[in-house]
Amino acid sequence: MKQGGIAGLLGMMGMAVKIILTEEKMRVGQVILHLFAAMVVAVLSGYALTDYVPNQKMLWAANGMAGFMAIRIAMWAERVVGAKLDEAEAKITKGKPKKTNAKRQAKRRK
């Protein structure tokens, strides 16, 4: 729990630096949304990287960088998940015939 809190704080600090350095005007709601996204991405990446990065300071740096790049990471994840869902949907709908709205022609009686 402590590691997640530190990762979230470092991610928010990374996003705060990005917000301060940018010249883009942002509303308070956008700033809060960006900080929250940075916190979530940094916590998730922190949990994922703990097994692969043995040095604690390198892990903290990675958490800060993940917070700095949080919006791009979230957009990448959205694109990857969307592609997987589209692929799964294509497999499901591949075997089903498409329904048409056209009416059948009436048979003529002789």
Sign of the Cα pseudo-torsion (56, 57, 61, 62, in order): negative
| Residue among 22, 23, 18, 6 nearest 69 (CA) | 18
Rounded Cα–Cα distance for residues 38 and 9 (Å)? 9
Closest CA to 40 of 80, 5, 79, 75: 5
- Can you give the C-alpha Rg of the chain in angstroms? 24
Q: What is the mean pLDDT of residues 82-110?
A: 75
pTM above 0.75, yes or no: no
Which amino acid, one-letter code, is at 47? Y
Q: What is the mean pLDDT of residues 19-25?
A: 85
- For the segment 41-68, the average pLDDT, to the nearest whole number, is 83
